[in-house]
Amino acid sequence: MARPITDKDRAAVKRLHAKGTSRNDIARAIKRSPSTVSKIAGAFDPPLTFDRAPQVEAATVARKADLAARRAEMAERLHDTAERELGKMQAKTLYWEWGGKDHTYAQKLADEPIPADRRAIMSIVATALDRSLKLVPPKDDAGAESRSVIGDLIAGLAADYTARHGGPPPEPEEPEAADDDAP
């Protein structure tokens, strides 16, 4: 048989709710189930609610901002890696080998990496930049937006001309070339 709800339970729920304690924390504090706490809270006039939507929304916004900052930081680190690796393309490179029947060590300092190593470096650079741009895509080109506005304006003017004159605007005439042989 369920334990009856007491005035002590009601007072504790009201007091803890006023402090902003969550339903589950109240249930733990008074050693009752969360559904019993909800039942007690609903019996008050007006009913006590445990609506935490504003706090959850604020926490979600903060979490998204934190993740965006972490993505931006990681994208920056990937760009740094790409730049560092790209610098190796023209750097002097030490090539070495160990072997032969006498187990000898030989090395050679090359002015720049061999083509196979350059290809590997380019792969690293491309991968780092690709991942960086996926983490934080670049903002749209403001010039493209203004060109789009100008294009829309020209199209609107052409449509207005067509509506007023019954046809498209005439093509501009090419200026005549100056005659260089004229006196």
Domain residue ranges of the chain, discontinuous segments joined by +: 7-51, 55-135
- Write down the pLDDT at residue 168: 78
- Which residue(s) pair with 93 in the sheet? 110
Give the span between the Cα atoms of 24 and 17, in whole angstroms. Answer: 11
Helices 23-30 and 34-42: crossing angle, nearest 10°?
Answer: 110
pLDDT at 160 (0 to 100): 80
Q: In the numeric block, which tokens belong to residue 12?
A: 């504790």
The predicted structure's pLDDT at residue 109: 95
DSSP structure class, residue 106: E
For position 16, what pLDDT does the model report? 93
Rounded CA Rg of the chain: 37
Compute the Cα dihedral for 63, 65, 70, 74 and give only its sign. Answer: positive
pLDDT score at 166: 84
The pTM score is 0.49
Structure tokens at 67: 């993740």
Give the Cα separation of 125 and 83 in Å (integer): 7
Residue 180: per-residue pLDDT: 56
Q: How much is the pLDDT for 169?
A: 73
The reported pLDDT for the residue numbered 41 is 92
Residues in contact with 52: Cβ distance below 8 Å, sequence separation at least 6, in sequence order: 22
Extract the residue ranges of the chain whose pLDDT is less than 50.
none
The reported pLDDT for the residue numbered 86 is 92
* C-alpha angle 131-133-134 in degrees, rounded to nearest 5: 65
Other residues' Cβ atoms within 10 Å of the Cβ of residue 4: 6
Residue 146: predicted pLDDT: 60
